[in-house]
Amino acid sequence: MNVKVFVIGGGGRCHAICESLRKSKKVTQIFAAPGNAGIAQIAECVNIDETDITALLDFAKREQIDLTVVGPEISLVAGVVDVFRANGLKIFGATKSAAKIESSKEFAKELMKKYDIPTANYRVFDDYNSAIQYVTEQGTPIVLKYDGLAAGKGVVVAEDFEQAKHALQEMLLHRKFGQGRVVVEEFLLGQEFSFMCFVNGKNVFPMELAQDHKRAFEGDKGENTGGMGAYSPLTFVTEEDKKFAFENIMQKTASALCSESCEFSGVLYGGLVKTQNGIKVIEFNARFGDPETEVVLPRLKSDLYDIFCDVLDGKIPEIQWDKRAALGIVLASKGYPAAYEKGFEIKGLDRVDAQVFQMGTKLENGKLLANGGRVLFMLALDDNLNEARKKVLDAISKIECNNLFYRKDIGWQAI
């Protein structure tokens, strides 16, 4: 077999996908658009924007790509899966209508309400005064979610009324993110975790669970980020919990999407929370999580290419996992998730004894430069999570760069 795969995207998640595909016995060539400096070591990077559907399609046709895999939500929302399928090309990812489960908070909440999928109580507003009145009635803490893509910054967990008011002003009066409405929802207390499944219609196949660390600083302090580190497997979610979440949340949601004529295919990501009243949904994503993918896929012992094909072909894939724990820490640019500078040189990667997924890097005149908010993801596997973390911290100590920060406490809930 001589299989050519095309991965759309460029961050650490796509680096991890490419790395797993590289291990496949069938895959002989991997292309990535746009890729990054790390991906370039294992794939041929092509300089096409991840939303330039025409150029992506032309490329896939010209290269006679056997399978395309989509990383980021912006490509899904732009309709890349719909266009590839309409042109008879095989692609793994959600269609534009199914991706609404991620791109519209209101759609996701309504679906959950209609199909009795456990989630926080909520109401939706486009008027500032009504929203303020509702917040006054409900009290704080309370959660405000801009209904639309806001680069991970559209969610505010308001601890007091002033914070809630400020956030509602930004979202509904100053229109910071655009013209979208705002979901105001009940605050759910509990440990959060991520449940990703391979899905095709009503066929749902679970991956191992992972936990992300969204806050910028140690002790879960600071602003929400795209994720500062992750680990897998989890100890606080029992087999019974996982079974509940699989049947009552993941499978039920996939079936609900079929009933609503926006059948899901691709990776359905449940951002879940284990509360005193059971497991509930915080959010859904229509794609692999980042950085969860960087700890889950390295534990996959089966062939990822086969899994993608089997799921797409309606077959039952073989999915085996490494028992060892995986833990990874993000090195981010100082200032992230707010403004940060780019272009700082990174040295020492050749000396580290850990797997590195590059998140936001570029190569310029032979130098590796930081080129994003999240820059590197350093990963280790070990029988013991604490040992895995020690290995990662040791690897990080060998990296030289003046403008990076990271959390030393990734996995604290389990260590």
Residues within the interface to ligand AMP (CB under 6 A): 120, 143, 145, 155, 157, 185-188, 192, 214, 224, 271, 282-283
Pairing of strands 278-285, 265-275: antiparallel
- Choose between 86 and 189: whose C-beta lies nearer to ligand AMP: 189
Report what 285 binds from ligand GLY, ligand AMP, none; CB cut-off 5-8 Å by kind.
Answer: ligand GLY
Residues 6+ apart with CB under 8 A from 36: 10, 11, 14, 15, 45, 358, 359, 360, 361, 362, 371
C-beta nearest to ligand GLY: residue? 289
- Choose between 180 and 291: whose C-beta lies nearer to ligand GLY: 291
Sign of CA dihedral 201, 202, 208, 214: positive
Report what 185 binds from ligand GLY, ligand AMP, none; CB cut-off 5-8 Å by kind.
Answer: ligand AMP
In the complex, minimum distance from the CB of residue 73 to ligand GLY, in angstroms, rounded to a whole number: 8
User: Torsion angle of alpha carbons 17, 410, 274, 13, nearest 10°?
Assistant: -10
Residue 316 DSSP one-character state:
P
Give 335-377 as a 3 state SS string.
Answer: CCCCCCCCCCECECHHHCCCEEEECCEEEECCEEEECCCEEEE
Give 95-141 as a 3 state SS string.
Answer: CCCCCHHHHCHHHHHHHHHHCCCCECCEEEECCHHHHHHHHHHHCCC
In the complex, minimum distance from the CB of residue 190 to ligand AMP, in angstroms, rounded to a whole number: 8
What does the block give as tokens for 359? 């998140």
Report what 224 binds from ligand AMP, ligand GLY, none; CB cut-off 5-8 Å by kind.
Answer: ligand AMP
Report what 227 binds from ligand AMP, ligand GLY, none; CB cut-off 5-8 Å by kind.
Answer: ligand GLY
339 vs 152: CA distance, rounded Å: 14
- Choose between 185 and 290: whose C-beta lies nearer to ligand AMP: 185
Report what 292 binds from ligand GLY, ligand AMP, none; CB cut-off 5-8 Å by kind.
Answer: ligand GLY
C-beta nearest to ligand AMP: residue? 283
In the complex, minimum distance from the CB of residue 14 to ligand GLY, in angstroms, rounded to a whole number: 12
Binding mask 264-303 for ligand GLY (x = CB under 6 A): ---------------------x---xx-x-----------
- Choose between 185 and 260: whose C-beta lies nearer to ligand AMP: 185
* CA distance to 5, 357, 376, per residue, from 25 (Å): 13, 21, 27
Q: Which helix (H) or strand (E) holds 284?
A: strand 278-285
Pairing of strands 325-333, 355-358: unpaired
- Choose between 40 and 157: whose C-beta lies nearer to ligand AMP: 157
- Choose between 132 and 332: whose C-beta lies nearer to ligand GLY: 332
Among 10, 12, 38, 227, interactor with ligand GLY by CB under 6 A: 227
* CA distance to 23, 170, 181, 253, per residue, from 376 (Å): 21, 32, 34, 33
In the complex, minimum distance from the CB of residue 257 to ligand AMP, in angstroms, rounded to a whole number: 18
- DSSP bridge pairs for 328: 230, 379
405 vs 401: CA distance, rounded Å: 10
Q: Are 198 and 307 in contact (CB under 8 A)?
A: yes
Size of the site for ligand GLY (CB under 6 A): 6
In the complex, minimum distance from the CB of residue 285 to ligand GLY, in angstroms, rounded to a whole number: 5
Phi and psi at residue 304, in whole multiples of 5°?
-65, -35
Cis geometry, peptide bond prior to residue 118 (ω within 30 degrees of 0): no
Report what 290 binds from ligand AMP, ligand GLY, none; CB cut-off 5-8 Å by kind.
Answer: ligand GLY
- Choose between 128 and 177: whose C-beta lies nearer to ligand GLY: 177
Cis geometry, peptide bond prior to residue 337 (ω within 30 degrees of 0): yes
- Choose between 154 and 227: whose C-beta lies nearer to ligand GLY: 227
- Choose between 147 and 290: whose C-beta lies nearer to ligand GLY: 290
In the complex, minimum distance from the CB of residue 209 to ligand AMP, in angstroms, rounded to a whole number: 15
In the complex, minimum distance from the CB of residue 220 to ligand AMP, in angstroms, rounded to a whole number: 9
- Choose between 34 and 190: whose C-beta lies nearer to ligand AMP: 190
Report what 41 binds from ligand GLY, ligand AMP, none; CB cut-off 5-8 Å by kind.
Answer: none
Report what 48 binds from ligand GLY, ligand AMP, none; CB cut-off 5-8 Å by kind.
Answer: none
Among 66, 212, 260, 294, interactor with ligand GLY by CB under 6 A: 212
Q: Of 101, 102, 70, give the one whose Cα is nearest residue 83.
A: 70
Q: Which helix (H) or strand (E) holds 405?
A: strand 404-405
Give residues in contact with ligand GLY (CB under 6 A).
Answer: 212, 227, 285, 289-290, 292
